[in-house]
Amino acid sequence: MATHVGGRFKVTAEIIKEAKKADSSYCMIAETIERARPHAVAVTVDLQAIRYTDRKNGERYVWMTPPGAQKALIAFDQGEPVAPFTVSLRTPIQRVPIQKRGVSSASKKVTVPVKNTNKRGEFQIVGGQLPPVAVLSNRGRVRKFGLKQLKP
């Protein structure tokens, strides 16, 4: 039975205080998701996407970062105070089966992306390549903003 992957995540004042500035793996949203979903690993958050792997389901999920969360990330990373807020993640835009350790790349199946639409008309890609990590995330954990337009 698959576990629920999305939901509403309350980013509390305590989590905001403990979060690391400009770090996509230890940011306030990533910490909130990890606490709410103990089976979630490799949680990363940047301006483009929120991603995590669910080892129980054997899949990696990708959501577009909601606009309110984007604004909070920019303010937090620029050292401005952020009030507690809620992040809602509904249907992931993509889910990809994870490769089991010890499986050679020659024997793994190539997943062909399948496009699905649910009852609410939300679009989802199943399989295929994951989207690239956002440019502003500095190709890893560190988020850096160089544009003055990002100043809220």
Query: Strand 123-126 vs strand 94-97: parallel, antiparallel, or unpaired?
Result: parallel
Rounded Cα distance, 52 and 59, in Å: 9
Query: Span 105-118, mean pLDDT?
Result: 54
Query: Span 122-131, mean pLDDT?
Result: 65
Query: Span 7-30, mean pLDDT?
Result: 90
User: Two tokens at 98?
Assistant: 């994870």
Q: How confident is the model at residue 135 (pLDDT cuts 50, 70, 90)?
A: very low
Query: Span 112-126, mean pLDDT?
Result: 60
Token look-up 């954990």 returns 141
Question: What is the pTM for the complete model shown?
Answer: 0.72
Apex 15 CA angle, 13 and 16, nearest 5: 60
Query: Span 8-21, mean pLDDT?
Result: 94
